[in-house]
Amino acid sequence: MSSNILVVGSINMDLITVLERFPKVGETLLGQTFTTALGGKGSNQAVAAARLGAQVAMIGAVGDDANGDAALKILQQEGVDCSGIAVKTGMSTGIASITVAEGDNHIIVVSGANFALSLADIDAHADLFAAADVVLCQLEIPMDCVLHAAKLAKQHGATFVLNPAPAQALSAELLALVDVMTPNHTELKQAFALSETASDADIAQILPAHMQLVMTEGANGASHYSAEGKRHWPAFKVDVVDTTGAGDTFNAGLAVYWSQGLDVAVQHAQASAALAVQKLGAQTAMPTADAVGMFIKQQMH
């Protein structure tokens, strides 16, 4: 099996400082460690899909700075086709400055070049849409780019999968183009402007007839909603170390295995995420297709 996945999404460098306690306003402290890692939902999902054995290309934007160089290098090392990534002169690459202390974290995201991605940047790579089985998007790039990617996916006969994160309301025009949506509970409510108390029946009622919805529910697993009704799969029971990147790994798994049918796709997406939560970090924890296959076999015994 080899699927062609095109990710149109964000690219960040995570700048991670660990220290004993958070500084007060105006205070300078010495930290303990500093590390950098590739982040952003787009590049996380691209790397996760590549680890799972898919042919992956990415459309996105970085700045002409050291973080952009580092991000491109890591994506290339992971086997992601970076020909669709624009380098924006004079702009900074997206960053997430993460401070970890007192068992908690503070995070500042500066989107930088991610929000300079343009329709022209996307149009320049129509060839990548033509080659794609699945086009996978999130909401960390301009909304008009998400909509444009959805239109091009449709034009080229690719399945358009939208992970509507971070949570926000979605236009009717975009909803009409989404084949598969993968929200968590908060994102689902925001995407469809549902009330806090919305029931399964309410969800079934607002769901466009053409759309399949796979809602992720953390340790509770995942549910599929469609015109035919609801199905639920429990999560695999594992010892959790760090759930960072669970959603990104799940989305990659679902996209990579989508052509094999809903059951196989959800099973592999959940197995991929279950392996990811057993290790620290996002991309460091993302499994290979072999590891996922072995894990599923073990779980069946």
Between 116 and 246, CB nearer to ligand ATP: 246
Q: Which is nearer to ligand ATP, 203 or 277 (CB)?
A: 277
Rounded CA-CA distance 83/300 in Å is 40
Q: How far is the CB of 246 from ligand ATP (least distance, A)?
A: 4
Closest residue (Cβ) to ligand ATP? 247
- Please choose, from the candidates 98, 136, 78, the residue with its C-alpha nearest in 3D space to the C-alpha of residue 281: 98
Q: Which of 121, 200, 248, 263 is catalytic?
A: 248
Closer residue to ligand ATP, CB minimum distance, 82 or 188: 188
Query: What count of Cα atoms within 13 Å lies in the side-chain half-sphere of residue 1?
Result: 20
- Minimum CB separation of residue 205 from ligand ATP in Å reads 23
Q: Which residue, 3 or 244, has its beta carbon nearer to ligand ATP? A: 244
Cis peptide before 166 (omega within 30 of 0): yes
- 202 is a catalytic site residue: no
Least distance CB 193 / ligand ATP (angstroms): 19
The total of other beta-carbon atoms located within 10 Å of residue 286's CB is 27
Least distance in angstroms from the C-beta of 279 to ligand ATP:
13
Query: Is residue 4 within a helix (H) or strand (E), and if so which, with residue range?
Result: strand 4-8
DSSP notation for 6-46: EEE---EEEEEEE-SSPPPTT-----SEEEEEEESHHHHHH
Positions that interact with ligand ATP (CB under 6 A): 184, 216-219, 221-222, 235-236, 238, 240, 243, 245-248, 250, 270, 273-274, 277
**CB-wise, 62 or 273, nearer to ligand ATP?**
273
Question: Distance (Å, rounded) from C-alpha 186 to C-alpha 127?
Answer: 35
| In the complex, least distance from residue 268 CB atom to ligand ATP, rounded to whole angstroms | 10
Q: Which residues are catalytic?
A: 248
